[in-house]
Chains A and B, each alone.
Chain A
């Protein structure tokens, strides 16, 4: 076969393709310099990512990071996107000139299935054998030169995580004359005529001959079962040929897909037999640890212990940095109050901007510690085990453990969690997961829980184990709610049989602290930037809505607030929330939370700061928790009783209060119906549960 040459002047486009968990994201980062999350479970790189690498001569090369796929015979939207890009079916993405296949060297035979399909495409391929260190520790020896000879393509041993092999890879990518594969395999005689006819039809649709052959083989394997938006459909002629052969084989009782797959595995087995040598070894360290970590009893105990440690860490380690931030913010507010004369500008700055932003910045240490622990658990490989353990529970509600991965991501933020559902093959399972994922207590709820806990107990300090217990209760409620609704939806709205899960447990790694710390710094920057922009803007607007229209001169501040725009909105919704123990000031916070949940803290800070002006309480910016404890109903009763604080936390566990999540659900489900249904069922549940807890609590004398 003649080597292919790139068109002079046009940047080469490389597709980076591989199974999930083979280190594809790490390699992409290393080639392009774009930092991404490195996870050990499927669904991390759901989106297509495009970066620029540079050849040894400094020429730019475009690299497209494809979603992880086990096969081009797509079984999920993720794999369908990878297939469509490689086949040139997507008009929004250029068909790659060259393909980099990255495989886990310690699982070569399984990984070669995808490579084998890609070789059929007739484009230059570079094979990267990643995780060579792990392969060596597992007792594998790979005859790289022999593999190069068998496949006829460059084979690059690599350890992407350590940077080894990257120079050889860049050199290979820089070659103007990358050879096409010489590997040939025998298509079974029963299938060959169908392949030829489909290939001819696809070639007349202006597909290159080799690509047409590869696509014909794929159509016969996956019957074009999974199609995603943006994919060019088959021509009517090709569809008719495919259906004709399918009817014929069904009549003869021929399982053509199985015949093709087996023929491919036979070819792969022969290659692997000549290339892979393994020295028999006892159970690896990973296997020994997994005997405990995935044990039906000990697995759960370890998971509970890990979560307890995470929450303990959040509360103990964050105390001093939180106090430091608190004092700095209060000091800054006091200074502004001392230098500016009394007036609207001073009030806007101290009671709007500083109160609003400061009240959310104080939670930065806890958010960081949460992400540090999440990153640490991902980096070690433990998260995949958590998903494995959860699969036992998931299957009882009609889902499988693959749904837990997006739900686990939703503990940080529901948005990437919902996007991660693209890896779920079954459409109903995917929709159910999207509907329940926001019930997992995301990190935006954390400031609300923490504020309520601080206001919960009279006196200066809430006992540590009380805090940890309450936090775990909230997380448990959200998780339990998610499971409960998943069970309900799978038996009513979205009935379907539970789908099977096959999941890879990657080997344990020592955590890469550099990646974990980098991820933490990224989150810190996003948090601070959002606080300084979105939350600052919302706090300023909310201050205006709380301060205008002006009451007559001399009116007490409470009257000013009550008759402001915000007060009017809060009082309009008070009849709805009074049965839950909330007043109109809490109502203002609930309304503003729809922008982002943690805005509740900022808006409460603004509302109660405005409320306290003129009573001699706010010469400095009053700590918010003190302001909450002092808040009263008109009849003098305490507003934020322990019961009300608990009810507010419960409300936030269940309510759908994030516009961004609603927008992403709309995009992922391609409908308005499902996000609206989600708002109704979640907020309705929040109201009902909170109502029951509050009324029962009052009846019991709390």
Chain B
């Protein structure tokens, strides 16, 4: 894999990661909580959404 291709792949991964963080930040404005690894809040909200 050439260095140029490696750089392109790395930057693409960075863009995806940044996009995911921004999306999560926007989504969490409606349902705050769940940033830290120990918080159960996200899971409860997901379960409630699934069950309607």
Contact = CB atoms under 8 A, between A and B. Distances in A.
B6 A660 contact: no
A596 interface: yes
Nearest to A538: B21
Given A598-B37, A663-B28, A344 B10 contact: yes
B38 to A, nearest CB: 4
A34 B32 contact: no
Contacts of B1: 340-341, 343, 345
Given A540-B14, A663-B28, A595 B6 contact: no
Given A526-B39, A658-B35, A540 B51 contact: no
Given A50-B51, A345-B1, A534-B21, A660 B13 contact: no
A672 to B, nearest CB: 13
Interface stretch (A393-401, A411-419, A556-564): A411-419
Contacts of A527: 37-38
6 pairs of A and B residues whose beta carbons are closest in the complex: A343-B6, A663-B32, A660-B35, A345-B6, A344-B10, A537-B17
Interface residues of B, number: 33
5 contacts: A342-B3, A343-B10, A344-B9, A345-B10, A527-B37
A531 B37 contact: yes
Contact of A415 (B9, B20, B33): B33
Nearest to A52: B51
Interface string B22-46: 0010001100111111111111100
A541 B18 contact: yes
A523 B32 contact: no
Contacts of B14: 348, 540-541, 543-544
Interface string A286-328: 0000000000000000000000000000000000000000000
Given A537-B18, A660-B36, 16 more contacts: A49-B48, A340-B6, A343-B7, A344-B7, A344-B9, A344-B10, A345-B6, A413-B38, A415-B33, A442-B36, A526-B37, A526-B43, A537-B20, A544-B14, A660-B32, A660-B39
Contact of A533 (B6, B20, B36, B40): B20
A360 B37 contact: yes
A598 B51 CA distance: 32
Nearest to A51: B51
Contacts of A526: 37-40, 42-43
A367 interface: yes
Nearest to A598: B37
Contacts of A50: 48, 51-52
B3 to A, nearest CB: 5
Nearest to A597: B36
Contacts of A344: 3, 6-7, 9-11
A597 B36 CA distance: 7
A415 B37 CA distance: 12
A169 B43 CA distance: 28
Contacts of A34: 47, 51
Given A526-B43, A658-B35, A663-B33, A541 B6 contact: no
**Of listed B17, B18, B21, residue having the most chain A CB within 10 A:** B17
Contact of A367 (B10, B28, B29, B38): B38
Interface string A656-669: 00111001101100
A660 B34 contact: yes
Interface in A515-533: 522-523, 526-527, 530-531, 533
Contacts of A47: 44
Given A541-B18, A544-B14, A595-B35, A416 B7 contact: no
Contacts of A348: 10, 13-14
Contacts of B47: 34
A82 interface: no
Contacts of A541: 14, 17-18, 21
Given A50-B48, A348-B13, A541-B18, A530 B41 contact: no
Contacts of B43: 522, 526
A541 B20 CA distance: 11
Contacts of B3: 342-344
B38 A444 contact: yes
Interface in A49-103: 49-52
A160 interface: no
A345 B35 contact: no
Q: In the complex, which of the residues B29, B32, B39, B41 has the most CB atoms of chain A within 10 Å of its own CB atom?
A: B39
A346 interface: yes
A467 B38 CA distance: 22
Contacts of A658: 35-36
B10 to A, nearest CB: 4
B51 A341 contact: no
B10 A522 contact: no
A536 interface: yes
Contacts of A660: 28, 32-36, 39
A520 to B, nearest CB: 12
A348 B39 CA distance: 28
A443 interface: yes
Best-buried of A32, A37, A47, A537 by chain B (most CB within 10 Å): A537
A36 B51 CA distance: 14
A346 B38 contact: no
A433 to B, nearest CB: 18
A345 B9 contact: yes
A338 to B, nearest CB: 14
Nearest to A667: B32
Contacts of A413: 36, 38-40
Contacts of A666: 32
Interface in A19-39: 32, 34, 36-37
B39 to A, nearest CB: 5
A119 interface: no
Nearest to A543: B14
Nearest to B18: A541
Contacts of A667: 32
Interface in A360-404: 360, 367, 371
A341 B1 CA distance: 7
Contacts of A659: 35
A342 B35 CA distance: 33
Interface in A533-553: 533-538, 540-541, 543-544
A52 B51 CA distance: 7
Contacts of B29: 663
A444 B37 contact: yes
Nearest to B12: A345
A524 to B, nearest CB: 10
B31 to A, nearest CB: 9
B9 to A, nearest CB: 5
